[in-house]
Amino acid sequence: MSNAVNAKETASARGEGMDAALDALMKVVGPDLVRVNETIMARMTSSVGLIPQLAGYIIAAGGKRLRPLLTLAAARLCGYDGDRHPKLAACVEFIHTATLLHDDVVDESMLRRGRDSANAVWGNKASVLVGDFLFARSFELMVEDGALKIMGILSNATSVIAEGEVLQLVTANDTSTTEDAYMAVIRAKTAQLFAAACQVGAVVAERPEVEEQALFDYGMNLGIAFQLVDDYLDYSAKQQELGKTVGDDFMDGKITLPVILAYARGTDEEKAFLRRCLEDQDMPDYEADLAHAMELMKRYDTLSETVVRARAFGDKARAALAPFPDSEAKSALLGIVDFCIDRVY
């Protein structure tokens, strides 16, 4: 009984710590975020009524605005006191939102953060086209900023994200996928935008290349840690708190690190089971098959190992900020590393 109480208290304390990390970040960038949201609302307008309706739906359902918050905080970390960074942060959010719309179509997802996904409400065609609209808006914002270097960073990130999506499609339902191939997917699909969002903060502040690289490295390692935790969460009961069902990745045949490790360590019989489920999508009793897959992950300790890997990348993210002097912005960015990883609790 005491162990259960202690575990609950620990989880509660971590939850409070996560809230504190976000509060610290908001203290640094709160007024800037207001301008980001104003820009987002203004740039969603269109004479075609479905566009602001659908775009507003998914943006309103958005999470913590983590990626644009990183742009704002990175600019403050670098001592920037101009007014370009809110528009660039809005650009980052448009890129992210567009990828979510396209992802849900590709994955045939019916839920997004506990609500019906946009494609479930309006259909695939509208979701894809409004995603294209948001990509276009992001490029308009880049052009308005006028800095070729920033255009290069964000347009390259958009290309890399698309490559990551295609690579994920290629590796889906393929149990022979290697850890290296998996890492290439998450670096491109998730971490690249984290990295670009942070790097832009140094560029807009006209900081030296060493600081640009430091913020790029921070964002890249943070993004990898973030995705590893997401992959863990798909097989965690915590999913229900996040408005998702347990095992969505398993049902879709996505090959993530917990699966890769379980397959590598499994017996021939267990490998055949995973191939049947993930490659052949042959799951006549889905609940039983998912339970067996999760039992294999527990047996081979692949979920906890995924979290260990996430923490290692989190440590790299923290280390990347070493060139910067102590400040509120630096403390907030360090706290966000803990925020991303502590989602497992």
**Per-residue tens of pLDDT for the chain, all 345 residues:** 444 444 344 444 455 667 788 899 999 998 999 999 999 999 988 999 898 888 887 777 656 789 999 999 999 999 999 999 999 999 999 999 999 888 878 777 765 656 767 777 787 898 899 899 999 999 999 999 999 999 999 999 999 999 999 999 889 899 999 999 999 999 999 999 999 999 999 999 999 999 999 999 999 999 999 999 999 999 986 655 555 578 888 988 899 999 999 999 999 999 999 999 999 999 999 999 999 999 999 999 999 999 999 999 999 999 999 999 999 999 999 999 999 999 887
| CATH number of the structural domain spanning residue 207 | 1.10.600.10
Q: In which region does residue 147 sit, left (phi positive, over 0), alpha (psi from -120 to 50) or beta (all else)?
A: beta
Structural domain range at position 237? 2-344
Q: Tell me the pairing of strands 111-112 and 115-116.
A: antiparallel
| pTM, full prediction | 0.91
Number of alpha carbons in the 13 Å side-chain half-sphere of residue 43: 28
The number of domains in the chain is 1
